[in-house]
Structure 1
Amino acid sequence: MKNKITLLSIFSFISIFAQIPPGYYDSATGSGYTLKTQLYNIINNHNDQGYDSFDAFTATNDLDLYYENDNSTILDIYSENPSGTDPYNYTPITDECGNYNGEGVCYNKEHVIPQSIFSQNNPMRGDAHHLLPTDGRVNGFRSNYPFGYVGSNLVSQSGISNPTMNGSKLGNNINTGLFSGYTGNVFEPIDEFKGDIARIYFYFITRYETQVTNWNYSMFNGTSTQVLTDTFLYTLLDWHLNDPVSQKEINRNNAIYTYQNNRNPFIDHPEYACQVWSSHCNTLSSTDFALNENTTIYPNPSTNGIFTVSSTENLDTITVYNINGQIIERIQYSNVNVINNSTYTISNLSSGFYLVEITSNNKKAIKKIIVN
């Protein structure tokens, strides 16, 4: 539970930067599915701008102001390399297309919730909250597959590498622990954008809760309350909790409010997710508890830009994020025999606030550190 409590306090800290209209969430006073319906009543009946209008929105509001910071190319979650040079970049409008013969040729509009699910009907088709500009080939590669943790078997497809150029991948669902119950193929974006995808789904199944029971999709369970099957609800909550809201999401949420007059509540108030799906969050917390308790980070605060991670668990990865959600450093113990009581020192951090994600055997914990 401790790592989740820490995350909620972090989320509350981040939320103060969002430009939420006064009183917008005043009626969101309940808990569980009552809260979800209250949020539906707040965000429904948005001003549908139509699918074609999204091109102009993207040209202004989906630019890379966060990584390359060039203010002239599209931020594509399937090609962005958060810690290095992107494999390719796209100029808004100029590089948009419908036809492609490989990755890196052009971008188009992806429906994060596949539009075939809702028969391409409005207002879902043009809802900017779940429309993203992405590489055309990778968009086609992802197809209608659900999102999830990919196991050991990747799917081969001619004309595209798997993983893709930035590490997104398609393969069988990991199907272990809380993420078991689905044996088909899933698509997994890189860690940097997992929370973005989760919050888009939480928005969509809240905004359209009166219609979602009519849609047949492997991620959905046929209800208007939980909506997601346990497999995918645990997956998306895990992504939500372990990839906090970024400034990119906050800025985009504000722009969409101006564009179509509704907001994503799970960006403004990330704590809503665990208030709606509380039992699932509690289960996730209990599975991660041992990892959190058996891992320490010191000194905290750090006064010299150096801290050490020490754990009695066999760690898989250590990832350091800044307040904007950017990866500062990642240590991966793949193909390495890591012994218990492992320690790793991270240095050269500038002053600021950081999140440290630690993973071990499908368990995750997040701790915050401060460098003075």
Structure 2
Amino acid sequence: MKKIYSILLLLVVTLGFSQQAYYNGINFSLNGQPLKNQLAQLIITTHTKELSYSQVWNALKITDLDPSNSSNVLLVYGWENGSDDDVTNDLSRNKNDNGGSNGQWNREHVYAQSVGTPDLGQSGPGADAHMLRACDVQRNGTRANRKYATGSGNSTVVGANWYPGDEWKGDVARIIMYMYLHYGNQCLPSNIGVGANADAGDDMIDLFLTWNAEDPVSQTEINRNNYLTNANNTYGQGNRNPFIDNPYLATKIWGGLPAQDIWGTLSTTQMVAFKFSLYPNPSNDRRINIDSEMEVDEIQLININGQLMQQIQKPTRTNNTYTVENLPTGFYFLKVTADNQSVTKKILVN
């Protein structure tokens, strides 16, 4: 959903109290696989209560409530509230009108059950309330187990694939990231999305990194996360989705298009720890120079769609200067990695 940026003023400076306690022990100076491993261990060990598939019905009636009508739940992939004759595109529906018939809502596996390796089933990963969302029965059937793919506008079939809609793509991306973090190879992003892998030594694909950056966190996502993290709640699981708490965690782990740093600390910490100068910017000769006293391990050129355009590993430097040449014209993100730290800056090539 289009997002509320001022979630809590306190988060601009530090984590909220409940989040701060949850992430005690996580070393946020890490990047890549080490940070991924720490977060995975955290959400697995704190998932102390597993819901049954039937319990998810009642969980969704709480977690997916429509903020403008507490009698309704929001329907993933929906966008319209009854002004046309097509009920399959409704955004909201009575929370008790659930089931398997046309005009009702059911439980949508955002990570399609059948494409898991193995199948997610109806317990464990298949009943994880962080992944299941309320959805119109017919729209759910149209999506089926189609992979997610690039698109624009409202949710729709794209060739043999599925675009979740501009209002939902960030929600989808953060759910896929959570499932991969929690369930590993059973929930590979490449099994559920179309696109190239980001150069992260991992299975995450650029599509979800781009969606995570382009569609910031909604209040509904925050409400779901806060309810499910409390195992004392009737349908609470005990764990959180870290990418809802801070989408920039995905950037630290997998790279790609830089996402919003809700806490305002992760990206700033990196830039303080690793400094370099970049010039000329804009570039008029398709060349960028990078001055760094630290030895650079890798340089990536990423376009505004999150696609990796150029990659230089162990680049050669002359007098602490690295030069990237033959750049195509356009607006890009230049990601520079040194000593397991990455900094991304915007560049313009004329």
TM superposition score category, shorter chain reference: 0.5 to 0.7
Structure-2 residue corresponding to 1:195: 170
- The unaligned stretches of length 5 or more in structure 2 are 231-235, 259-298, 307-329, 331-345
1:216 Cα deviation (Å)?
Answer: 5.7
The yes-or-no answer on 1:43 pairing with 2:46 is no
Q: SS of the counterpart of 1:55? A: helix
My pick for the range that moved more, 23-32 or 193-202, is: 23-32
Structure-2 residue corresponding to 1:34: 34
Structure-1 residue corresponding to 2:74: 75
1:61 Cα deviation (Å)?
Answer: 2.1
Q: SS of the counterpart of 2:111? A: coil
Q: SS of the counterpart of 1:79? A: coil
1:220/1:133 CA distance change after superposition, 3 Å: same
1:127/1:225 CA distance change after superposition, 3 Å: farther
Structure-1 residue corresponding to 2:316: none
1:150/1:287 CA distance change after superposition, 3 Å: closer
Contact 2:66–2:92, Cα closer than 8 Å, also in 1: no
Structure-2 residue corresponding to 1:175: none
The yes-or-no answer on 1:168 pairing with 2:148 is no
Structure-1 residue corresponding to 2:269: none
Structure-1 residue corresponding to 2:94: 91
Match of 2:229 among 257, 268, 276: 257
1:254/1:15 CA distance change after superposition, 3 Å: farther
The yes-or-no answer on 1:276 pairing with 2:253 is yes
Q: SS of the counterpart of 2:251? A: helix
What is the CA–CA distance in structure 1 between the aligned matches of 2:63 and 2:13, rounded to whole Å? 20
Structure-1 residue corresponding to 2:277: none
What is the CA–CA distance in structure 2 between the aligned matches of 1:240 and 1:216, rounded to whole Å? 18
My pick for the range that moved more, 279-288 or 196-205, is: 279-288
Contact 2:76–2:91, Cα closer than 8 Å, also in 1: no
Structure-2 residue corresponding to 1:227: 203
1:81 Cα deviation (Å)?
Answer: 3.6
- The unaligned stretches of length 5 or more in structure 1 are 1-5, 152-162, 173-184, 290-312, 314-364, 366-372
What is the CA–CA distance in structure 1 between the aligned matches of 2:194 and 2:111, rounded to whole Å? 10
1:272 Cα deviation (Å)?
Answer: 0.6
What is the CA–CA distance in structure 1 between the aligned matches of 2:167 and 2:203, rounded to whole Å? 25
1:221/1:38 CA distance change after superposition, 3 Å: farther
What is the CA–CA distance in structure 1 between the aligned matches of 2:10 and 2:155, rounded to whole Å? 26
1:28 Cα deviation (Å)?
Answer: 3.8
Q: Deviations along 1:44-72, whole A, 9 cap, x unmatched? A: 1412112111111111221110xxx1111
What is the CA–CA distance in structure 2 between the aligned matches of 1:81 and 1:221, rounded to whole Å? 32
What is the CA–CA distance in structure 2 between the aligned matches of 1:90 and 1:218, rounded to whole Å? 28
Q: Deviations along 1:272-303, whole A, 9 cap, x unmatched? A: 111011267585754469xxxxxxxxxxxxxx
Q: Deviations along 1:154-197, whole A, 9 cap, x unmatched? A: xxxxxxxxx9xxx311113xxxxxxxxxxxx2211221211111
Letter in 1 for 2:79: E
1:219/1:260 CA distance change after superposition, 3 Å: farther
Q: SS of the counterpart of 1:144? A: coil
1:171/1:286 CA distance change after superposition, 3 Å: closer
Structure-2 residue corresponding to 1:244: 216
What is the CA–CA distance in structure 2 between the aligned matches of 1:137 and 1:247, rounded to whole Å? 26
4+ long deviations beyond 3 Å: 10-19, 84-89, 210-213, 215-222, 279-289
Q: SS of the counterpart of 2:23? A: coil
Contact 2:149–2:195, Cα closer than 8 Å, also in 1: no
1:89/1:124 CA distance change after superposition, 3 Å: same
Contact 1:195–1:239, Cα closer than 8 Å, also in 2: yes
What is the CA–CA distance in structure 2 between the aligned matches of 1:15 and 1:106, rounded to whole Å? 42
Q: SS of the counterpart of 2:52? A: coil
What is the CA–CA distance in structure 1 between the aligned matches of 2:207 and 2:110, rounded to whole Å? 15
1:144 Cα deviation (Å)?
Answer: 0.7
What is the CA–CA distance in structure 2 between the aligned matches of 1:144 and 1:11, rounded to whole Å? 40
1:199 Cα deviation (Å)?
Answer: 0.5
The yes-or-no answer on 1:117 pairing with 2:89 is no
Q: Deviations along 1:292-330, whole A, 9 cap, x unmatched? A: xxxxxxxxxxxxxxxxxxxxx9xxxxxxxxxxxxxxxxx
What is the CA–CA distance in structure 1 between the aligned matches of 2:93 and 2:212, rounded to whole Å? 28
Q: SS of the counterpart of 2:222? A: helix
Structure-1 residue corresponding to 2:184: 209
1:269 Cα deviation (Å)?
Answer: 1.9
Structure-1 residue corresponding to 2:61: 59
1:219 Cα deviation (Å)?
Answer: 5.2
Aligned residues: 245
| TM-score, normalising length: structure 1 | 0.57
1:88 Cα deviation (Å)?
Answer: 6.6
What is the CA–CA distance in structure 1 between the aligned matches of 2:111 and 2:302, rounded to whole Å? 27
Letter in 1 for 2:56: F
Q: Deviations along 1:21-56, whole A, 9 cap, x unmatched? A: 515243244210111111110001412112111111
Letter in 2 for 1:147: Y
Letter in 2 for 1:203: Y
Contact 1:14–1:245, Cα closer than 8 Å, also in 2: no
What is the CA–CA distance in structure 2 between the aligned matches of 1:33 and 1:253, rounded to whole Å? 24
